[in-house]
Amino acid sequence: MADVRVAEDLWSTGMLPEGILERWLVADGSRVRAGEAVAAVRIGEALHDIVATADGRLEVMAPVSEIIDPGCIIAEVHA
């Protein structure tokens, strides 16, 4: 199992605007490949893709519109 995290470096160092899980780009239970974009998060005015960290089946752990923090786990990938 591999965690899919929202990278801490997406937030600016000066201030921490609220992050929101904008949408899932693949469905829960789908097969994904390492490096494939699986979700989009909005931090301040910027929209960022979050990628799978391994090949396998995606298990979504956070719903759309969830407030997210730096480094939080939003999904897992199971081999």
* Distance in angstroms (rounded) separating the CA atoms of residues 13 and 10: 9
| Tens digits of residue pLDDT in 6-18 | 998 888 755 667 7
Query: What average pLDDT does the chain have?
Result: 93
Is 1's pLDDT higher than 70? yes
Between 3.40.50.970, 2.40.50.100, 2.40.40.20, 3.40.50.720, what CATH number should domain 2-78 receive? Answer: 2.40.50.100
Contacts of 75 (CB under 8 A, 6+ apart): 3, 4, 38, 39, 58, 59, 60, 61, 62
DSSP 3-state of 54: coil
DSSP 3-state of 44: coil
Instruction: Write the burial class of residue 26 (CB in 10 Å: 0-12 exposed, 13-18 middle, 19+ buried).
Output: middle
| Tens digits of residue pLDDT in 27-72 | 999 999 999 999 999 998 889 999 999 999 999 999 999 999 989 9
